[in-house]
Structure 1
Amino acid sequence: MVDTRIPHLPNEILYEIAGYVDDEDILNLRLSAKVFEYITNDRFATTFFGDRAYELSPEGLEALVKITEHSVFAPHIRTVVIGHGGKHSSAKYHDLLDQAFRNLAAHGNAISIGL
């Protein structure tokens, strides 16, 4: 008898299942089984990490650095927008910005930057 539990299905079947899921539901699919997390990594990264916006603050820029260090998600980043709300000096955050953009360059990303 063939094992039909999700983790044991062929990748082709798993990709077919994932193809029927709308982008807004991909998060739920990824939570349903570990194998779907792997199967949907590229689609998830393209959908949710292509355009990123961060606040010009220690927390915002640390989040940017963290995501640019991620080997799966960072290569999919195409646009980075830094919002400052007129409250902060960008010179204060030079090191975090420098690290984030070095990380993106290491992945070969050509990105658009908005401030």
Structure 2
Amino acid sequence: MESVSINSDTSMSRSTQLDYAIPASKIAGLSSGEFVGMVPDDPTNKIDLKTFHCQIQNDHDVIRTEEDSYQSIPVIRTTIKDDISVNYHKIKADIDNLIDGAR
């Protein structure tokens, strides 16, 4: 919607009200795997079908086969809570020393 208003002076203002390209109700009603959108164009390359509503199509058998071939990440080393706590306090002390040394 476009409106033009002219007042008693010689000024003129024009404002354009843009509605949402895709209403919130449409987005709220999407199912899992569905998506909507709008693509821009430019004056030299017009796009007729700018808005889209699509659904992701997954081949669940192929995905399952791929996931079954995954290998576990090997354990390099194990840590215990005490190791983490000691390292944390060491880092804190190092930072305190850096701050004190800068003064």
| TM-score using structure 1 length | 0.19
Larger helix percent: 1
Of the two structures, which has the highest relative contact order with CA contacts closer than 8 Å and spacing of 6 or more?
1
Larger strand percent: 2
| TM-score using structure 2 length | 0.20
